[in-house]
Every structure is written in structure tokens, then in C-alpha cells.
Chain A
Amino acid sequence: MARKATATSAKTQPNVPQFTNEQDLDAFREMLLIRRFEEKAGQMYGMGLIGGFCHLYIGQEAVVTGITMASEKGKDAQITGYRDHGHMLVMGLDPKGVMAELTGRQGGLSKGKGGSMHMFSNEHRFYGGNGIVGAQVSLGAGLAFASKYTGDGSVSIAYFGDGAANQGQVYETFNMAKLWKLPVVFIIENNKYAMGTSIERAAATTDFSKRGASFDIPGEQVDGMDVRMVYDAAKRAIEHARSGNGPYILEMLTYRYRGHSMSDPAKYRSKDEVTKYRQERDPIEQVRARLIEGGVVTEEDLKKIETEIRAIVTEAADFATNDPEPDPSELWTDITIEA
């Protein structure tokens, strides 16, 4: 049942699901927005406008884009760890609010009180933005528990990395999720490195799609650099969860181009490895090539999209630079709700 694909062999992958032109264009737009937004965030970090930790999603764009395209926006809940900017952009949260949160301004999604790792939206059903590695897995199962309890038909999508996949609470959660048949899809974003430690040095078994095996949770390894493969697998997994069959695991074979965070020079991997992914497997370039080769659009058309995306990012950056810091009185708000 499990379709196997690895990031390096996917070019010759048979039975690659086809996207309509609209889907390809949507995916191109969403992924490009993440890419340009993150590049801008990196630049603003370099300028000292963004502080603390800042984990960029560059390289992994196809994962959250394909999954979100396969989910019901506004109904299905999503939750992730600290590498969360891309998730919010694809889920429709305001790029200005995200960027202003990164710069710690009052117009940030969390009023400047959360920062890069802590942003949320009830309206879009995005539950963070969680800074503790692995915590989002049990929280995500809790979102699924609420769905089952109320019968609202939603699915919870919980993302975590290859590093978090070794945390104990992940397996506590797998057990309960299967035991109670919770509608949750676990997405393991395997970008090969938990900060600076490669999966080979940290994991006794590196096929993370099998990590649910002892709980009888089905799992698939997916080429996480090809948005079509991600979308196709996510459709299957979400449908499985929504129809009452319980949890599903998708291991996304992906790659981050930048360091773990802005202050990571990424000396633990070779330049060739990074270059190979960028040149041969880039998720955005794959779609761009398809669109051009298929004669769907011209270079000019894509340039126009790029200009539009750039304008959105520039607007977000300008807002985040000029928006004032939170009022000092905000120090004392939102600690508890007065009953």
C-alpha cells in the first residue's frame, strides 16, 4: 500500500500524480511566497531587525504547500514546531502580521509577544508555532480528540521533524491516537538533520514512515520535494483520518537549504549536498519547468507572478519595519483571562 519514493530517485518516479494547470500555478505562487518571504526574513535578521531564533523553511516549501492544498482550509487544524513561517503563509495568515511578529511589533500576530516560534490563529485553525521539540505532536492529537468529541469532521495535521521523531511523547501519542482512532495525520518533515546531527547519527532506524508500525499506524515515505507527490499522499492520509480509520503517518523526504537557524553555519554537511538539492530537486523550479515546458505560461507570465509576490513581501517587510513596538502596557496583558 505504501508508495515508496526517495528524494533522489523521484525524477524517474512512475505514476507521478498529475496536477492541473491551476494546481501547478497555485503551488508555484504559494511556494514562491514562502521562498521570498523567508529570504526577506533572513535578510532582516541579518540587519538586526529580527532577533532571537529564526528558523527558515527554504527548501521545504512543497511539504506544507501540498498538504494544505489537500486539506480543507478553515476546517482542518494544523500545528507544527518552530519552523512555522511557511505553514502560516500557506494557511492564509497575513504576511504582514507574520513579519511584524518576527520583528516584535504591535501589529504582529501575537502582538509581538510570541516571536518567530509562537504564532497562532483560531480563525485559520493554526495552533502554532511551538518551541518545544515534540510538544506539538501530543497537542495535535488533542486537536483531533476535540474533533472526534464534537464530531465536527475536521482532521488535525501535526508536523514534526526527524529530530522530534525521537522524542518519547511522540510514541505516547501514537499509541493513544491509534487506540482512540483519532483523526490525525502525522507529518514527519525529514530534512535529514536535527539541528547539526544527521539522522544516521541520531536514529536507530531512519525510515521514519515505519515509526508507527508497532501501533499499526500506516505510513508512507513521500518525495517531499515534489508538491504533486505531497498532495497525492496527503489526500490519501487525510481521507483515511477523516473517514474514522485513525491516524496516518507521512514521512516527507525534504531538505532545508539554510542552517537550522540563522546562527547556524551548517558546517556538518557538504556544499555539494546542498547544491545538488538546489539544482536538481528544488520544489519551485520543478513547477516552473513544468509550467514553461507544458506551454501553460510564458516566462513573462511567471515574471508577473514574481513581481506580485515580491510586492507582498516588500509590503510585509515595510510594515514590520515601521510598525511600532508593543505598548509597554502589553507587558501585563494576556497572562490570564479575568473570569
Chain B
Amino acid sequence: MPQILMPALSPTMEEGKLAKWLVKVGDTVKSGDVLAEIETDKATMEVESVDEGVVKEILVEEGTEGVKVNTPIALVLGEGEEVGEGNRPAAQATSSDPEGQSAVPEAAAASVPAEPKAGGEAPKFVAQNDPDLPEGVEMVELTVRQALNEAMAEEMRSDANVFIMGEEVAEYQGAYKVTQGLLQEFGPQRVIDTPITEHGFAGLAVGAAFAGLKPIVEFMTWNFAMQAIDQIINSAAKQLYMSGGQVTAPMVFRGPNGAAARVAAQHSQDYSAWYSHVPGLTVIAPYSAADAKGLLKAAIRSPNPVVFLENEILYGSTGLVPKMDDFVLPIGKARIARKGADVTIVSFSMGMRYATQATEKLVAAGVDVELIDLRTLRPMDSDTVIESVKKTGRLVTVEEGWPQGGIGAELAARVMEQAFDYLDAPVLRVTGKDVPMPYAANLEKLALPNVDEVIAAVNAVTYRS
């Protein structure tokens, strides 16, 4: 390429001043030699030669202002090259030709991107239904803690690439005893105590997933994962996309999320909305023991990075779990906990406790509540919610997280977009209060949502007093 073009120094530069020529006609130049200095209002930079040859012509004199990017500024011919039609600019591109259009070389012209076409439709996620349970299957009562423990143990038995790492997961048997017994069964190669270095071990686990392993990363609580959020989002969640589909991070980040009891602001926070914001992540927040087991098994098998949000207060609560060799639930499917016709309540995780207790009282009072447990927050099963709202005309959402930009806010937006005409009342959100979590017992209680607030919201949208 014999023409030397006015370069752009930055993505936004359109023109600049050709401040100084450091070569003259007749000079021999080679790769890396500085040919000229150019200036913009921001910076001065050097134009280096990329090719070897002899300077045949200076096309733009030094001191010229307003030289457009891509204007030919000099002619450098290599050995055996001649000045000819092919390499002489069609027009002298100096400040007298401010557009410089005629001089844009073939290569640059070809680079002008076509008008962006519409990006097409976002793919619609269609979740599978829960599998039918075998007839007469035995149901056993398990705590959520046992259910999670069984899920991990079963998946570790069936896939040697699954391992768990985190603080106190091995010798201590888990800070909340969720990993109890795993060290004894699977040994220290697969059940790994880490130093207290969330950022480092989260990144290390992502790297191990790139190389084909299936890590389960336990955060003692999600509050501490703030140290690691860069690796979760920038490394794990975006990897598939920015590698054009080549490198994956099949892994689970799990641990207790949301408010615990009396541990105050830094240890009581709901990250549901934070992670559900991020494309590339799957986000699961189960309530029942059966969902905890079936969805954690699905999460471990998933080829995608999964954020699995548990709840400390729910670890000890019990539920019936089918006794099966392989009980796996579909990711991305909400569960209708109670069918009803008057009002839809949507919640997940700990919020379901308030919503369930409120539903019992409301049903007793004659309100036919439809109660939906989202279970998965991303992909979000809005179809189930929309269908319900089309039937009931009313929606109340319940979550422990803050109101602004929360899961309830997202549901309200989706319902407004897709079922506006079906609404008989504004959507109401019951959320944690918009404050850091206080320590004092009375204030903490006030900061969290409660059953009465759910009932009050249902009464408001059903216009009962």
C-alpha cells in the first residue's frame, strides 16, 4: 500500500493537524520509522511507516489543519513500484477538499459497515414442565439442608468432574453443614477447603471450568461474594458470548442469600435482582426442599454458570421430597403452589414463607389466591405469571430484596407490557424496605416484609378493606 493515510488516534477522531513531517521526498523508510507528527485537541502522536520504500510525494504539507482521517498524506513506493493510476489519489486531499471523500481508498471504503439490520427476535425460552413422578413413589421428609446435601452427593457420585470448594466446606463439614459428610465420601481432592479469598477462589474455579471441570463454589454467604462478583460476571457469565461459543464455564456458585437473623447490614442482603440482571447467568432461588434438591441437581448438570441462591433461615425447614434415583427439575419453570382465581401472588425463596402464610389466611377469609413460586429468576417464567394474571386480573409480588430495580419491579413491567388490558388493579410490590438492614430487633422486623403486608397488598388490589 503505497499511500500513507491520515490515521485516527482514537475511535472518535475525525480530523487533525499534520504538525510536522520527519521525512522528505527521496528518503528511504522502513517499518517503524516515524514519518510525521499529527495533533488533535487531545494529543500529539507519531505516524509510523508500516512498509518499506522511498518517499515519492508529500501530499499534505506540514501545518495543515483539519486533515480528515483516511486522507492520503504521502506516497511511499516499495522496490519496483511505480507511480501510476492505481496508487495516486484521485484527488488531492488537503484542506481544500475538506470532505476528502473522493480520496477514501478502496480498503477503507469497503470497511464502511452496512446499515445495521434489525437484530431479530430475542430467543424465547420455553421451560419444560416438571417430570411426572412415578406412581406410588415414596415421599420422604427432608430439610432443605439435607436436600441440598443429597443433590451434591448424588451428582458427585455420577460425575467425577464435579468438585466443591469453599470456606469450611470440608473439615468443618460446612459453615451451615450443607456439605456435611462430603469430605468423608469424596476425599480432599474433591471437597476442598479454601483460604478466605473469595475473589481468588471464584476466579480459580472459573478457570477450572474453562478447562472442563464442573466446580461447585460455596460462598459462606452471598454477602462475601461481592469480593468475587467480577469473576462471576466478567469471567463466567460473559465467557460463552465473547468467545463466540467456544469456551464455557459450566459451574455452580451457591450459598445462603438474603437476610439472616440479627446480623445487620453487611451480612443481610438479597442478591436476587443483582444476578438476575446478567445475561449469561442462570439464577435459581428455591423455597421448598424438593425444589432445592431437584434444581441443584439440574444446576450442577447445566452447561452454563448458575447462581444458586439459598437461604439460611430455610435450611432447617422441611418438605416432602420424592425418593427416586434421579430426581431432577427443569430450570426456568415456575411452580403454581396453589391454584386460584381472585388474585395472583408471585414470590420465591424466603418470600414464599410470607406469601404462603398470607395465602392460608386469605383463603380462610374467602379470597381465592393463586400462589406462584418462581423458583428460577433467570430465565424468568413470565408465561406462567402472565397466564395467571390474565385469569385473576391482579398481581402482588413478594421479596426480601430492596424495591428499586427488584424482581417485583421486573414482574410489574412484564405484566404491564404483556397483560395490561387484563389488569383490574395496579401491581403492588411487597419488598424489603429501602434501607440497609438494621441490627435492633424491632427495626430489623420493620425492615423485612411480613405476612400482614402481603395481606394488606392483596386487600388493596382486590379492593377489599
Contact = CB atoms under 8 A, between A and B. Distances in A.
Given A47-B7, A127-B210, A113 B230 contact: no
A292 to B, nearest CB: 16
Given A48-B69, A173-B204, A179-B195, 11 more contacts: A48-B70, A128-B247, A139-B231, A139-B235, A141-B203, A147-B211, A172-B197, A331-B119, A332-B122, A334-B241, A337-B303
Contacts of B9: 46, 262-263, 265
28 contacts: A35-B31, A39-B32, A39-B50, A42-B48, A46-B8, A46-B69, A47-B8, A47-B70, A48-B69, A48-B108, A49-B108, A51-B11, A77-B211, A115-B242, A127-B207, A128-B247, A132-B234, A139-B206, A141-B203, A143-B208, A169-B203, A172-B195, A176-B201, A257-B32, A321-B110, A331-B120, A337-B248, A339-B303
A108 interface: yes
A47 B100 CA distance: 13
A19 to B, nearest CB: 24
A329 interface: yes
Contacts of A52: 11
Main secondary structure of the interface of B (DSSP, over half): loop
B448 to A, nearest CB: 33
A131 B233 CA distance: 12
Interface string A23-48: 00000000000011001101101111
B246 A146 contact: no
A140 B231 CA distance: 12
Contacts of B48: 39, 42
Interface in B357-400: none
Contact of B119 (A139, A141, A328): A328
A139 B207 CA distance: 4
Contacts of A140: 207
A48 B68 CA distance: 12
B194 interface: yes
B199 interface: yes
B118 interface: yes
A172 B242 contact: no
B8 A143 contact: no
Contact of A175 (B6, B197, B240): B197
A66 B8 CA distance: 33
Given A145-B204, A172-B200, A120 B241 contact: no
Contacts of B304: 336-337, 339
Contacts of B243: 110, 114, 118-120, 128, 334
Nearest to B31: A39
Contacts of A142: 203-211
A149 B200 CA distance: 18
B199 to A, nearest CB: 5
A149 B163 contact: yes
A172 B234 CA distance: 18
Interface in A304-339: 321-322, 325, 328-329, 331-337, 339
A322 B110 contact: yes
A43 B50 contact: yes
Interface string B85-120: 000000000000000000000011011011011111
Given A103-B111, A335-B279, A337-B303, A176 B195 contact: yes
Interface of B: 5-11, 31-32, 43-45, 47-48, 50, 69-70, 107-108, 110-111, 113-114, 116-123, 163, 189, 194-195, 197, 199-213, 230-231, 234-235, 239-248, 279-280, 282, 298, 301-304, 331
A192 interface: no
Contact of B241 (A46, A135, A137, A335): A335
A121 interface: yes
B349 to A, nearest CB: 22
A48 to B, nearest CB: 5
Contacts of B230: 132, 135
Given A172-B199, A339-B331, A110 B244 contact: yes
Given A132-B230, A262-B10, A265-B9, A169 B200 contact: yes
Contact of B247 (A122, A328, A332): A122
A110 B195 CA distance: 35
A329 B122 CA distance: 9
A143 B304 CA distance: 18
A109 B47 CA distance: 29
Contacts of A288: none
A278 interface: yes
A130 interface: yes
Contact of A141 (B120, B207, B234, B247): B207
A337 to B, nearest CB: 4
A146 to B, nearest CB: 3
A110 to B, nearest CB: 4
A112 B113 CA distance: 13
A296 B69 CA distance: 44
A108 B213 contact: no
Contact of B280 (A49, A111, A173, A335): A335
B32 A278 contact: yes
Given A172-B195, A176-B195, A336-B240, A141 B69 contact: no
A295 interface: no
A138 interface: yes
A145 B163 CA distance: 11
B119 A175 contact: no
A329 B207 contact: no
A294 interface: no
Contacts of A51: 11
Given A118-B243, A142-B211, A263 B11 contact: yes
Interface string A278-303: 10000000000000000000000000
Contacts of B110: 321-322
B195 A146 contact: no
A149 B208 contact: yes
Contacts of B208: 142-143, 145-146, 149
A336 B70 contact: no
Nearest to A324: B114
Interface string A178-211: 0100000000000000000000000000000000
Interface string A53-64: 000001000000
A238 B239 CA distance: 27
A132 B235 contact: yes
Nearest to A158: B207
Given A47-B70, A48-B108, A265-B44, A113 B210 contact: no
Nearest to B192: A180
Given A263-B11, A328-B119, A336-B280, A321 B107 contact: yes
Contacts of B121: 332
Interface in A128-162: 128, 130-132, 135, 137-147, 149-150, 156
Contacts of B43: 263, 265, 267
Contacts of B280: 335-336
Contact of A339 (B203, B246, B301): B301
B240 to A, nearest CB: 5
Nearest to A108: B244
A-B complex: 6 closest residue pairs judged by Cβ atoms: A142-B207, A46-B7, A172-B200, A138-B203, A146-B211, A111-B244
A168 interface: yes
B10 to A, nearest CB: 4
